[in-house]
Amino acid sequence: MGAGQSTSQAHTPPRGLHVLRVTPQSPASQTNIEPFFDFVVGFEGDSFSSDNAINASELEKIVESHEGRVLNLLVWSSKSQQTRVVPIIPSRTWSSQQNEHSAHGNDAQPSLLGLSMRICEPESASENVWHVLDVIEGSPAESAGLVPMGDWILGWSGGVLGAENDFYDVEAHVDKPLRVYVYSYDFDTLREVVLIPNRHWGGEGLLGCVFGFGLLHRIPPQPLDKVPGSIPLELQEDFEEQELFVPADIETHGSHPQDWQANRIPANGVQPRLAAENTHFHSTASQASDLM
């Protein structure tokens, strides 16, 4: 079961149900609903008016009344800035096997959709992301596979990031796994990454990573013709290397690493500070922030 047609919507919905998780084997997993980027804003027949905000109680009743038959949800994507129609069949049978193994006395009804959502304002929810700007060699961030410039951290196992300071509270996870959800812009995919903050990896800080937060570090929109999960042209094996050339009169063997680092963030001209021992920092919406 896939998505239906997209509908034009120039404005961002005032409120929506932010999709945080899609449960495997659930009705929602059979659709193309995407965690973190998608917001359920209504159902077919609902108004697209900007003055109309989603009513969670009404939607819950609609879902229950459509058990076993198709319900067309209206889903707004922060990627495409469009609302699309997503057909889904609410059902409890998919989780019946799980309920058989659950503890006795649990009277909770299984989910009809298999979606974990929270009510929020989509415009502000899309701003709270952390852009990976630099990863120090040998650091916990490198061991976890974070990709500088191409990765964004969207949330962690405890939920979404609601403010700039949220991701700095890693002291409680020293030498313990910290699960975060990372979006790759290059591959247009979402993955789970396990970070283990520690002070004995050989460098300064807990993660050895530099992040950016604010207006200049939002996730840029994908090209309209981009196929999700496809390999970017510059990463393909048959990409012609001569397109990325260095003039013969430029001396490269004597370049210094710091010269390369200084050109990593042309958007705001701020050179990342690679080490900060504690959680105190100073940043603005246009500056890169250091992580411990």
The Cα–Cα gap between 198 and 144 comes to 13
Residue whose C-alpha is closest to residue 182's, from 285, 36, 288, 283:
36
Backbone angles phi, psi at 116, to 5 degrees: -105, 120
Q: Is 18 annotated as a binding residue?
A: yes
Q: Tell me if residue 97 falls in helix, strand or coil.
A: helix
Distances (CA, A) of 94 to 56, 60, 98: 23, 18, 8
In the 3-class helix/strand/coil scheme, how is 223-288 assigned residue by residue? CCCCCCCCCCHHHCCCCCHHHCCCCCCCCCCCCCHHHHHCCCCCCCCCCCCCCCCCCCCCCCCCCE
Residue whose C-alpha is closest to residue 198's, from 113, 266, 141, 154:
141
Contacts of residue 106, defined as CB under 8 A and 6 or more positions apart, other chains included, come to 99
158, 130 in Cβ contact below 8 A? no
Burial letters 20-44, b for 16+ CB under 10 A, else e? bbbbeebbbebbebbbbbbbbbbbe
73, 85 in Cβ contact below 8 A? yes
The Cα–Cα gap between 66 and 272 comes to 52
Which pairing describes strands 71-77 and 209-212: parallel, antiparallel, or unpaired? unpaired
Binding-site residues from annotation: 18, 120
Binding site residue list for Zn(2+): 18, 120
